[in-house]
Amino acid sequence: MNWFSIIEGIIIGAVGGAGAGISIWLLNFWREGRIEKRDRERVYKWLLNNSGNSSGYKFRSTRAIASHTNLTLERVDYICSTDEKIHLSTGERDDVWELKSIVRN
């Protein structure tokens, strides 16, 4: 065994490891994006069906959304605070959300 074959093996191992690491990172990135998209759709659809005149409530609490969508309070808070279609109440309670398309002035 000579030095050239040892160095060649190290290079092949490093390139293979880097490729595997990048592949796993990309798959995880894609998976998390799909989960976030699914959760956003779940919250949006629930707010669409349970906000406004039909239910009598204009804003819905984080706890109510989490309870009905089977998500954690932290997850609902994150999704509602980062979604462009949902906004936070500026009234007395600071944990209630509403769809921007339902906002009435």
Pairwise CA distance, residues 5 & 95, whole Å: 63
Number of domains in the chain: 1
Nearest to residue 85, comparing CAs of 35, 32, 47, 29? 47
| Structural domain that includes position 17 | 3-102
Rounded mean pLDDT of 16-21?
96
Q: Which CATH number characterizes residue 73's domain?
A: 1.10.10.10
Look up the pTM and report it.
0.76
pLDDT at 102: 56
pLDDT at 57: 65
Kindly state the tokens that stand for 23: 């592949």
Q: How confident is the model at residue 93 (pLDDT cuts 50, 70, 90)?
A: confident
